[in-house]
Amino acid sequence: MEILTENKILSILASVTDPEIPVLTITDLGIVRDIKFDEIEECWEISITPTYSGCPAMDMISTQIRMTLFSNGISNFRIKQQLSPAWTTDWMSDSGKEKLKKYGIAPPNNPDFGIPDSPAACPNCGSSNTSLLSEFGSTACKSLYKCEDCLEPFDYFKCH
Ligand SMILES: [Zn+2]
């Protein structure tokens, strides 16, 4: 039997996609914070941090993690939601941000102190001339923007 390691679990989790943005995996998003083995309980503890507190997708993500690990023959694990420190877009991988852009969603801008949380550029044409249409886009985790140049509406993945 293959010996289970933290890296092995991480590579399995790298196949779990975000239910809202299927092109992104949970490792692209950087929501898997920690994987450790509890020697006393002989159980893997997987810590995940929601991208958005109260995000309904998190329950789905936990379920998908369970199903994926079970289908790989792993059952001695528990999932812990770690709410602090809060998820930041810095945890997202560069390839994740790139995939998001190709999918037509503006990747999160890394807002430094004082810079508003708004998209840096339209994912269609790259224009920075964008305006907010609605605080809530197709899901609570996104807001709806419109590009003033190509006039395309697009979702913006909000920073939290
Ligand atoms: Zn545009």
Ligand 1: distance of its center to the CA of 66 in Å? 39
Query: Alpha-carbon distance 152 to 119, whole Å?
Result: 14
Ligand 1: distance of its center to the CA of 150 in Å? 4
C-alpha triplet 127, 55, 63: angle, nearest 5° = 120
Q: Point out which residues pair with 37 in neighbouring strands.
A: 44
Q: Where are the alpha helices (H) located in the chain, listed in sequence order? A: 6-13, 26-29, 57-71, 94-102
Domain boundaries, the chain: 6-88, 104-157
pLDDT at 113: 43
Ligand 1: distance of its center to the CA of 121 in Å? 8
Ligand 1: distance of its center to the CA of 103 in Å? 14
Percent of the chain residues topping a pLDDT of 90: 46
3-state secondary structure of 143: strand
Maximum C-alpha span of the chain: 59
pTM, 2 dp = 0.73
Six-digit token pair at 17? 């996609």
6-88 CATH, one of 3.30.1510.10, 3.30.300.130, 3.20.20.100, 3.90.1150.10 = 3.30.300.130
Q: pLDDT per residue over 83-121, tens digit each?
A: 888 888 788 899 998 898 888 888 776 555 445 567 878
Ligand 1: distance of its center to the CA of 39 in Å? 53
pLDDT category, 148, cuts 50, 70, 90? very high
Q: pLDDT per residue over 115-144, tens digit each?
A: 556 787 899 998 989 999 988 776 767 889
Ligand 1: distance of its center to the CA of 155 in Å? 12
Q: Which of 104, 99, 102, 128 is nearest to 116 (CA)?
A: 128
pLDDT at 111: 53
Do 31 and 87 form a contact (C-beta atoms < 8 A)?
A: yes
Ligand 1: distance of its center to the CA of 101 in Å? 12
